[in-house]
Amino acid sequence: MPRSLWSGIESRKIIMRIVVEGALTLQTPAHFGNGDTDDLTDMPLLVDPLDGKTPLLTGTSIAGALRSYLREREHGYGHLASKQSASVLLFGGRKSEDDGEQSPLVIDDMLGKNFGIEMRDGVRLDGKTRTASDKAKFDLQLWQAGTMFTLRFELLIRETDDTNRLKQALATALSGFNDGGITLGARKRRGYGRVQVSQWRVKTYDLTKSSGLLDWIERGDRPLDSVTPQPDIQKALGIAKLINDHRQSFCINATFSLDGSLLIRSGGGQDDRGPDMVHLHARQANGNKKPILSGTSLGGALRARALKIANTLDTSNRTQALINDVFGVEIRPGIQPSASRISVQEHVVQNARIDLVQNRVSIDRFTGGARDTALFNEQPAFGDDSTTVTIELHLGNPKPYEIGLLLLLLKDLWTGDLPLGGESSVGRGRVKGKTSTLVYQTGGTPLQWKIVANGKNLTITDGDEAILEGYATALNKHLKGVVA
């Protein structure tokens, strides 16, 4: 007797389908690339092929981000998942497994709305001169902050599955959209692609009952507009506890006042009718356009200064290995790049004066007079003690000497010795420390310090300052080759 093409005995025996929807909004610009270049920009965006303009966020991108976040939360940064891991249970077998299970989670592609495109210039800085490297300038397109996507997931529950564990794994993975653990797109360690989900809708279809089966057949593909939204995915899915967080990290969140002016050049002037150079502005999630300190500019300045600090202390030729390990290996011909372990965020420059234009002229050193056709004007962000700049750093799997390097970077920023942005030679980009919170998360109770400016001095109000001194000592010993 010929074997039938389908048999209930050999089916997956799906008894339940749980549909989850979430309203995702970009908090900072994001680049979802199409993997190609065109005549107008080096890095164009991925769009809906039907109309050629609507943002497209693929389900594969979401699945990769969720899987990585869940694995890191369960096992820690850089650790592989086991066959019994929640990430394998939810997303299927690992790449090394030819017979791994398929994922029970279905993730739809998503089209954006309320979108706009902005251009950003990128450049690689020379660590020695802090100027642009030759032939290292590029531009990229970004979806503006405020662009919205409707996430949609469908979790398939089989007869033999542990429903509570699957729901716990899904709730834990989706929680990364709101705790900063999941960022999307390119250059996400430099401030791009920060997201937030404001509301979740969940509906369960019980396929063992005719009413549930018919409901799913008739309305299973429709939006869950009739479901009351919940702000917390854990409550929406009815999970008592998320999977424990085993990630180790060192975070710095510091607030500075702007001492003078800041100029991070945007792609150009105001439609060729305004100043020649304008400080970089970006649309925020609420639709307002604000001056910002970009993560790419901050990351480049920190890397260059870290290289200088390490070279000053190094007597055992360990500088380049340390910088590459923390900030990643730069993309160069014949060299295998690696991702940065340090993440920086993009933040608004609060209470800055942005309506003042400064006229400047280039001076001929020989004659002492103005160069011919060398008059130009600039519109930087001017500030005072009420103008604040927030700097946020996050280092995964930190070693004591790496924490020491971050502390020295914080010191240079705090004292105004490390300028940000361009034209530091004429006094721009200097900041003064006001407050800073340091958190060392080791998987248990975190260590925390709070630093507050006290006139020309500073005060550590929380935490043991001797531990911080130990981190700086560890950096000095590491670069001098002293065995701890």
Mind listing the pLDDT tens digit for each residue in 386-414?
999 999 999 999 999 999 999 999 999 99
pLDDT band at 468 (very low <50, low <70, confident <90, very high): very high
Lowest mean pLDDT among 147-161, 300-314, 370-384: 370-384
Q: Which residues pair with 335 in a beta bridge?
A: 332
pLDDT value for 8: 64
Q: Is the pLDDT of residue 97 over 80?
A: no
Q: Is the pLDDT of residue 419 over 80?
A: yes
Residue 409 to residue 261: CA distance in whole angstroms: 20
Q: Is the pLDDT of residue 152 over 90?
A: yes
Give tens-digit pLDDT for 17-37.
999 999 999 999 999 987 776
Q: Is the pLDDT of residue 452 over 90?
A: yes
Residue 443 to residue 394: CA distance in whole angstroms: 15
Give tens-digit pLDDT for 6-19.
666 667 789 999 99
pLDDT band at 267 (very low <50, low <70, confident <90, very high): low
pTM for this structure?
Answer: 0.89
Q: Which two tokens stand for residue 215?
A: 């409901």
pLDDT value for 87: 93
| Burial group, residue 387, by CB count within 10 angstroms (0-12, 13-18, 19+) | buried
pLDDT value for 263: 94
- The residues, any chain, with a CB within 8 Å of residue 283's CB and separated by 6 or more, are 116, 118, 144, 145, 146, 289
Kind and range of the H or E element at 289? Answer: strand 289-293
pLDDT value for 335: 79
pLDDT band at 269 (very low <50, low <70, confident <90, very high): very low
Q: Reduced to 3 states, what is the DSSP secondary structure of residue 365?
A: coil
Instruction: Summarize the confidence of residues 202-219 as an average pLDDT.
Output: 94
Instruction: Summarize the confidence of residues 253-260 as an average pLDDT.
Output: 95
Q: Is the pLDDT of residue 430 over 90?
A: yes
Q: Is the pLDDT of residue 272 over 70?
A: no
Kind and range of the H or E element at 120? Answer: strand 117-125
pLDDT value for 139: 82
pLDDT value for 4: 61
Q: What percent of the chain lies above the pLDDT cut of 90?
A: 67
Mean pLDDT across the chain: 89
Instruction: Summarize the confidence of residues 287-297 as an average pLDDT.
Output: 93
Q: Which residue did the predictor score with more confidence, 337 or 349? A: 349
Nearest to 169 by CA among 229, 98, 91: 91
Q: Is the pLDDT of residue 222 over 80?
A: yes
Instruction: Summarize the confidence of residues 73-95 as an average pLDDT.
Output: 89
Q: Which residue did the predictor score with more confidence, 130 or 75? A: 75
Q: What percent of the chain lies above the pLDDT cut of 70?
A: 93
